[in-house]
Amino acid sequence: MEAQIKRLAGHHLLGKQDVDTTLLDAISSSSLLLFVMGAMLLRELRLWTKLFFSNAILFILKGTWDWMTVLPDSIGYHECERRLNGDPAKGPVVPVMAYMKRLGMLEGREYVSALLELELHGVDGKWPVRYCSDMLLSGHTFAVLLYSLAVADLVRRATVLLPEGSFYRHVFRYLIGFWVALITIADMYYIVLKHFHYTVDVVMSVVITFLLYTNAGMAILTQWFVSGERPDRTEELDDAGEIWIPRAMIPCCCFNGYYTIKWLEDKEVKLRQDRNKSALWERLTKFSESLVPEQQSTNAEEQRGPNFGTFSDAKDEESRG
């Protein structure tokens, strides 16, 4: 069963090699540090908010999906057992399994206190604690990609100061794109090589991160959180948020650039739908109008405006006077 899982995961293509997890942590931490410095120097509050909202949602999705479906750990059962029970040949035994069993017997404040101790201090001084079956998604992968995308977003914003089509503008943008691709691919490679995750875990992390970072709902949420107003109540209704489509987002790479989100009223949505000239839409329109005849006549009178009479009516009044 274990060999079959590994074949399906694609681990046989790279084999297995021990990789220090400190290297993986350093890759993601360096990207986050660069973003924090750049965002503070450029005072980019919207991008800051967007990054950490996205980061929080990704971790919530990871925890939810791992809870919904427990997958066998990619390192195999025996390696996982040694990880949880400790292996004297690899150093001091850390009784993670015993700690988790004791945690399950606690309730109330004792449970919360022991859980916080586990997250902040680990078990018997070993921190962080690596569990088993913590598969989908790969936290390292989506953290590296998300932070590096945000850094690339900052750099791209800075390059708009350079003349359009200039040599240096293209150089900076291609260099930052190459850097994002390099560290993301390196992170994915080392994770799969170590059997830290399945291949699908890292690939899905890339897909979900791109979809979330370029999501219109995320842009609107960011705009609302920063401005403190709903998009439909702002003075500038033409700008309810901002989206950046990276060149690496296939198949949307041909539309790379920045876009604004416009809030539409219902009547604008109806006008756009009317342009499709759908027979079904026309029937639905007539049906909806038949449901509210009084409202329809009222709207028609409002569109015609006030009745000031005709020129002949005015002459009759004058002759009678």
DSSP of 166-189, one letter per residue?
-HHHHHHHHHHHHHHHHHHHHHHH
Confidence class for position 25, pLDDT limits 50, 70, 90: confident
The total of other beta-carbon atoms located within 10 Å of residue 312's CB is 8
Half-sphere exposure of 180 (CA within 13 A, CB side): 27
Half-sphere exposure of 13 (CA within 13 A, CB side): 8
The helix/strand count (H/E) of the chain reads as 14, 2
Q: What are phi and psi of 30, to 5 degrees?
A: -65, -40
Cβ neighbours of residue 71 under 8 Å, at least 6 residues apart? 133, 135, 136, 198
pLDDT at 229: 60
pLDDT at 89: 60
What is the C-alpha separation between 6 and 13, in angstroms, rounded?
Answer: 10
pLDDT at 309: 45
Confidence class for position 57, pLDDT limits 50, 70, 90: very high
Residue indicated by tokens 């569109």: 303
250: left (phi > 0), else alpha (psi -120 to 50), else beta?
A: beta
pLDDT tens digits, residue range 69-123? 888 888 877 777 777 776 656 555 557 777 778 878 888 888 888 888 887 877 7
Confidence class for position 231, pLDDT limits 50, 70, 90: low
pLDDT exceeds cutoff 60 at 65: yes
- Which runs of E-coded beta strand occur in 198-256? 242-245
Mean pLDDT, range 174-195, rounded to an integer: 89
pLDDT exceeds cutoff 90 at 253: no
pLDDT at 119: 79
pLDDT exceeds cutoff 90 at 150: yes
